[in-house]
Amino acid sequence: MQTRRDAAILWLFLILPVGYMVAFVGYPVVYNLVMSVQDVTLGNLATWDRPFVGLGNYVELIANERFRLVVRNSVIFVTVNVVLQIAFGLAIALYFENRFPGARYMRGLFLAAWMLPPLVIGALWKWMYAADYGLINYVLESIGLSDGPIYWLSNPDIVLAAVIAANIWFGTPFIMLLLSAGIANIPRELYEAASLDGAGAIQRFRFVTLPMLKATLLAVACLATVYTMRAFDLIWALSQGGPIDASNVLPLYSYQLSFEQFRFGGGSAVATFSFVVVFIVALLYVRTIRHEKAM
Amino acid sequence: MAPVNIRDVRKAFGHVEVLHGVDIDIEDGEFVVLVGPSGCGKSTLLRMIAGLESVTSGDISIDGRTVNRLPPKARDIAMVFQNYALYPHMSVAENMAFSLRLKGASRETMHEAASGAAGILGLGDLLARYPRELSGGQRQRVAMGRAIVRDPKVFLFDEPLSNLDAKLRVSMRSEIKALHQRLRTTIVYVTHDQIEAMTMADKIVVMHDGVVEQIGEPLELYDRPANLFVAGFLGSPSMNFLNGTIRAGGDRAEFEVDGGARLPLPTAPAASDGRPAVYGIRPEHLLSDAGGTDAEIVLVEPTGAEIHVVARLGNDDVTAALRERRPYRAGERIPLVPDLEHVHLFDRDSGRRL
């Protein structure tokens, strides 16, 4: 029998998380959605009395050349980051599975990159990318791979690649850590059985590691997508999205619209685009996790 | 089918040596069981035969060819693991035919091999299932099927029945034995269970602390254990050991148990009067009969077929497995008579049979 007191406690424990979600997640999301269909300026920001413009902000965005460039950049930035972070992360995780002396310490060192604030990493890479005194140009020139300075961050054709490289360096260790945990969960006997069945190293990877890691890989891909979708500070420190938006991505553009041009409606509309993508990926992630548990 | 020869094999992990020079000859088609308590090195030895552990020194040869440096896949052996090690993402048929797939066999060949093995093991209806949809016993059979498909020179079994419940274990025991009689392939089988060893083996290798204690046919080991370890390890309930001294002064020999009681001996070893020794007698070879040695009952355990009576004899407790149904009571005194044909004497220091 459930007493009244039990019921009260149940309600309390239900209301606490739901209330938290509504206040700190639901409200901002809805507020953003509302702003995206209004014409919000500095003048009316403090009031609720804002002109309703329907999908005006969205229509304007889609017609905007600049926005389309930012979307294109974002797609490239996220796709290349996710693919290469997982590829490198998996390669490094597998490498550290060979338990050579010092493997654990070296793996710890790799994590250092992930422990630094993105702003610091951006500043470091900015120095390394510097055209005249940067480390990267110095190395390339001294081994004869280039005969003049490469303008990594001021050439619109290569700035996105430069920013992507820095973000891969920043994100890979965490991916490696997640994949290492997944690899550690694969029973050793499966590898032993496979090598008795005649599988070499490549076949063991193909027929044991990959299928056993499938769920983990999918979950990690979702996480990596969400993490790179929201990349902001590293790019801010490196290039501020420039030159001429060549390395601009959605969150940065949303910030610039809202807080540099004070076009809050437009900024909110950009944020809504990001939100929809992240939300779909997050749903996929939750599904993957649930599937993994059911296995 | 092939003989397996193990010559002075040693294994060290770092500075710790776990196998101290093991010699075993396994004949073509023989069913050999390596048995011993956990940590005796039996699994390590099996994994060395498989090529999953390196050989520190000595030689392992299969079919006359030294395999020390060969990778597992080049040794032509198949292994059944304790937790089955089935590939969870492959169906039963795919699991069994995986080795053929790696060799690039055709779809028909793989199907034929898988259904052939499934037929032998009664898995015909389960070929499309996945391991997670199978019971423990069925998984065990699939693991065996995977080994059969390989048609190897030697089958290796690493405690294959430990994860099954008691009843299933007994039936799988006879299935594996029947399988061996059908295929006639050399089998090396590791277990810690002496009953599995006794019931299945053509030849038992008893191991302890990284050395071979004794090799022989099951009943040979049971009837004439070479030392105290083998005597105590085989048989359940295990052999009774009594510390005492051999008395061979007059016309008949006797054993004086520390703490007083006297037990008869068939014969005494030459010049052994006064020699300290261990008197070994199995519970089923102790009878309760008039004129026996007086002992006080400590504990009574009926098992159904017989009644196990634990009684105090001198300083030691002995167990007698009595077939006679009678209400024995703790505290009661009964006379115990050993069957003289089955008395074992061991040296007290070395533990060796006298």
* CATH number reported for the structural domain that contains residue A90 in this entry: 1.10.3720.10
- With contact defined as beta carbons under 8 Å apart, do A124 and A170 qualify? no
The beta-carbon neighbor of A199 closest among B88, B89, B102 is B102
- Tell whether B89 lies on the interface with A, counting CB pairs under 8 A: yes
DSSP state string for B9-59: EEEEETTEEEEEEEEEEE-TT-EEEEE-STTSSHHHHHHHHHTSS--SEEE
**A73-82, A207-216, A258-267, B95-104: lowest mean pLDDT where?**
A258-267
pLDDT at B164: 86
Identify the residue whose tokens are 């496979």: A194
Q: Looking at per-residue confidence, does B193 or A57 come out higher?
A: B193
- A42-54 pLDDT, tens digit per residue, is 777 777 778 888 7
pLDDT at A154: 83
What gap in Å lies between CA A243 and CA A58, rounded to an integer?
25
Chain B residue numbers touching A212 (CB-CB < 8 A):
88-89
pLDDT at A2: 62
pLDDT at A274: 86
- Asked whether the beta carbons of residue A197 and residue B150 sit closer than 8 angstroms, the reply is yes
- Tell whether B325 lies on the interface with A, counting CB pairs under 8 A: no
Query: Is residue A250 classed as helix, strand or coil in its secondary structure?
Result: helix
The beta-carbon neighbor of A195 closest among B73, B86, B150 is B73
The number of C-beta contacts closer than 8 angstroms across A and B is: 59
What gap in Å lies between CA B348 and CA B354, rounded to an integer?
10
> What tokens does A291 get?
């599937």
pLDDT at B272: 75
Chain A residue numbers touching B79 (CB-CB < 8 A):
192-193, 196
A287: containing domain: 57-294
For residue A199, give how far its alpha carbon lies from the nearest alpha carbon of chain B (Å): 7
Residue A267 lies in a domain: yes
pLDDT (mean) for A192-204:
91
pLDDT at A40: 81
- With contact defined as beta carbons under 8 Å apart, do B147 and B80 qualify? yes
- Tell whether A261 lies on the interface with B, counting CB pairs under 8 A: no
Count the Cβ atoms, other than its own, within 10 Å of residue B202: 15
Cis bond before residue B237 (omega within 30° of 0) = yes
For residue B196, give how far its alpha carbon lies from the nearest alpha carbon of chain A (Å): 23
Residue A275 lies in a domain: yes
Q: Looking at per-residue confidence, does A142 or B300 come out higher?
A: B300
DSSP state string for A21-40: HIIIIIHHHHHHHHHTTB--
What gap in Å lies between CA B63 and CA B46, rounded to an integer?
16
Please count the structural domains in chain A. Answer: 1
pLDDT at B314: 82
pLDDT at A22: 93
pLDDT at B185: 93
List B60's β-bridge partners, or say none.
Answer: B6
Q: Calculate what percentage of chain A has a pLDDT beyond 70.
A: 98
- With contact defined as beta carbons under 8 Å apart, do B123 and B132 qualify? no
pLDDT at A86: 95
Q: How far from B148 is each of A88, B127, B131, B190, CA to CA, in Å? A: 40, 15, 18, 18
- With contact defined as beta carbons under 8 Å apart, do B257 and B294 qualify? no
Mean pLDDT of chain A: 86
- Tell whether A190 lies on the interface with B, counting CB pairs under 8 A: yes
So what's the ipTM on this one? 0.83
Residue A82 lies in a domain: yes
Residue by residue, pLDDT tens for chain B (354 residues) are: 689 999 999 999 989 999 999 999 999 999 999 999 998 999 999 999 999 999 999 999 999 999 999 999 899 999 999 999 999 999 999 999 999 999 888 999 999 999 988 988 888 899 999 999 998 889 999 999 999 998 899 999 999 998 888 888 898 899 899 989 998 999 999 999 999 999 999 999 999 999 999 999 999 999 999 999 999 999 989 999 999 998 887 777 888 888 888 888 887 777 678 889 999 999 999 998 888 888 999 999 999 889 999 999 888 899 999 988 888 888 999 999 999 999 999 999 899 998
> What tokens does B15 get?
């500075």
- Asked whether the beta carbons of residue B79 and residue A211 sit closer than 8 angstroms, the reply is no
Which of B101, B130, B140 to mutate to probe the A interface, most A CBs <10 Å? Answer: B101
pLDDT at B261: 84
> What tokens does B159 get?
């405690």
Total residues found in chain A within this entry: 295
Residue A52 lies in a domain: no
- For residue B188, count CB atoms less than 10 angstroms from its CB and return exposed for 0-12, middle for 13-18, buried for 19 or more: buried
- Asked whether the beta carbons of residue B71 and residue A195 sit closer than 8 angstroms, the reply is yes
SS3 sequence, A124-142?
A: HHHHHHCCCCCHHHHHHHH
> Is residue A189 scored above 80 in pLDDT?
yes
- Tell whether A198 lies on the interface with B, counting CB pairs under 8 A: yes
pLDDT at A193: 93
- Structural domains of chain B, with CATH: 4-224 (3.40.50.300), 240-347 (2.40.50.140)
Residue A41 lies in a domain: no
Handedness of CA B34, B40, B43, B45 (dihedral sign): negative
What gap in Å lies between CA B219 and CA B161, rounded to an integer?
22
Residue A282 lies in a domain: yes
pLDDT band at A204 (very low <50, low <70, confident <90, very high): very high
SS3 sequence, B105-171?
A: CCHHHHHHHHHHHHHHHCCHHHCCCCHHHCCHHHHHHHHHHHHHHHCCCEEEEECCCCCCCHHHHHH
> Is residue A294 scored above 70 in pLDDT?
no
Residue A127 lies in a domain: yes
Residue A34 lies in a domain: no
- With contact defined as beta carbons under 8 Å apart, do B153 and B67 qualify? no
- Asked whether the beta carbons of residue A187 and residue B85 sit closer than 8 angstroms, the reply is yes
- With contact defined as beta carbons under 8 Å apart, do B257 and B278 qualify? no
